[in-house]
Amino acid sequence: MFSGSICALITPFSNGGVDEKAFERFVDWQIEQGTNALVPCGTTGESPTLSHDEHMRVVEICVGVAKGRVPVIAGTGSNSTEEAIMLTGHAKDAGADAALVVTPYYNKPTQEGLFRHYKALNDAVDIPIIIYNIPGRSVIDMLPETMARCAQLPNIIGVKDATADVSRATAQKLACGEDFCQLSGEDITQLGFLAQGGVGCISVTANIAPKEMADFQAAWRDGDIKAAQSLNERLMPLHVDLFCESNPGPVKYGASLLGKCSPDTRLPLCEIADSSKKKVEVAMRSAGLLN
């Protein structure tokens, strides 16, 4: 259902609020550059510090600008099941094509608790749901056998896998079936994830290199492995240095160098260090984005 280069969109800020005009232009630019789908209000979109009203408005803007040209997968996760249901219901009402729901962070649910969380979402809102498994931020890891249980639910259609373990793609394919949509959540390992059975990547790098990321995914899809390897090698410094500090600080700074938005983030995230700014700029020049 979803594949290719999927951008985990930043949320531009101005004077403390969401810069709606900058976000509209950014979404339009992403589509023009070949991005295959869009994810508003994910981690990269600073969803933890968006108010409910801001969160819902950002989803609505993204859907409105996309106008069906590419799918919109709205981030709707929470460590409160009821809150996740509310945000997912809004995403459906706003016209999103799917919801991306992170495994509940901080609470540390068991594998049974994880299953019941996604079952409650499945039962409450009739929209395709992608599990976002990111142990580095949520502390918990949804195991393949639990994911296989979730995959039996009619609305649970795939996973954004940010375990950085490319072998998970094969394990999950065997557990969940051929049709389970597996998307990498790690730019740095996406080539290996594709080789093990993935079909795309929900990407941070795509925020500042949308064409290159789309070209990489297209090369792989078309069987041009050498071209895919070449693009992956060209972008690898970006994949690394966009995480020299907590995401999305570095990628927002990169977007500001392209004139797309301010580099502002919300506390507790703050301006990245000068040394980190230099790393981002060097990586962007190496990738040909500022030359």
pLDDT in tens, the chain (291 residues): 799 999 999 999 999 999 999 999 999 999 999 999 999 999 999 999 999 999 999 999 999 999 999 999 999 999 999 999 999 999 999 999 999 999 999 999 999 999 999 999 999 999 999 999 999 999 999 999 999 999 999 999 999 999 999 999 999 999 999 999 999 999 999 999 999 999 999 999 999 999 999 999 999 999 999 999 999 999 999 999 999 999 999 999 999 999 999 999 999 999 999 999 999 999 999 999 997
Q: Name the residue ranges covered by the structural domains of the chain.
A: 4-224
List the catalytic residue out of 118, 132, 260, 277: 132
> CA 201, 262, 83, 91: dihedral to nearest 10 degrees?
-60
Q: How far apart are CA 18 and CA 13, in angstroms?
A: 4
Q: How far apart are CA 60 and CA 38, in angstroms?
A: 12
| 132 in catalytic set | yes
| 108 in catalytic set | no
Kindly report whether the global pTM for this prediction surpasses the value 0.75.
yes
Helix (H, G, I), strand (E, B) or coil at 186: coil
| Bridge partner residues of 160 (DSSP) | 132, 183
List the catalytic residue out of 67, 92, 105, 160: 160
Domain 4-224: give its CATH architecture: Alpha-Beta Barrel (3.20)
The token pair at 280 is 């981002």
